[in-house]
């Protein structure tokens, strides 16, 4: 992952994937004790899509069986970004899952979320929203996070 940068009291973190420059955004921003994590999708640290959905001739997903794998990868990417600021999923206070197929997401979300957070009842607000399209047609899910540091995590020095 590319080094974090600081400007205007904000600290930014990047993966170094091509679309950060193409679109012009940071993967995560820390301001004060709050970390805002941009929508995480299913890619590796080099920007390769992980478990891309199969597409039809018009580039629309025809199979949602990769939802679980994509969801796991998005959570793993968030964990990596949060760690840059000394945080974990335990610091997450809200998440929003944007999905192409609500039924496919509900079928796996409980299991994946509980494993990611390491508890049967994750202590964060959660929204699951169906949408017609994400940034790339191969993506079935994108997850946005907001985390709050407290105590030592907010001021490690």
pLDDT (tens digit, 9 = 90+) per residue, 15-52?
999 999 999 999 999 999 999 999 999 999 889 999 99
Q: What is the structure's pLDDT at 150?
A: 85
Q: What is the structure's pLDDT at 139?
A: 98
What is the residue-wise DSSP string for the chain? -PPPEEETTEEEE----HHIIIII--SEEEETTEEEEEEE-SB-TTS-BSSPPPB-TTS-B---TTHHHHHHHHHHHHHHHHHTTT--GGGEEEEEEEES-HHHHHHHHHHHHHHHHTSSS-SSEEEEEE-S--SSTT--EEEEEEEE--GGGT---
Domain coordinates in residue numbering, the chain: 5-153
CATH topology of domain 5-153: 60s Ribosomal Protein L30; Chain: A; (3.30.1330)
Q: What is the structure's pLDDT at 155?
A: 55
Tens-place pLDDT, residues 63-122: 999 999 999 999 999 999 999 999 999 999 999 999 999 999 999 999 999 999 999 999
């Amino acid at each position: 992952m590319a080094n974090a940068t600081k400007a205007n009291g904000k600290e930014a973190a990047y993966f170094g994937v091509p679309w950060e420059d193409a679109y012009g955004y940071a993967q995560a921003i820390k301001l004060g004790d709050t970390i805002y994590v941009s929508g995480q999708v299913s890619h590796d640290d080099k920007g390769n899509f992980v478990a891309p959905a199969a597409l039809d001739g018009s580039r629309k997903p025809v199979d949602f069986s990769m939802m679980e794998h994509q969801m796991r990868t998005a959570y793993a990417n968030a964990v990596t970004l949060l760690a840059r600021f000394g945080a974990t999923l335990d610091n997450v206070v809200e998440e929003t899952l944007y999905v192409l197929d609500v039924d496919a997401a509900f079928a796996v979300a409980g299991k994946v979320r509980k494993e990611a957070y390491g508890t049967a009842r994750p202590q964060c607000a959660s929204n699951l929203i169906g949408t017609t399209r994400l940034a790339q047609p191969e993506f079935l899910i994108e997850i946005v996070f907001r985390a709050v540091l407290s105590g030592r995590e907010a001021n490690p020095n």
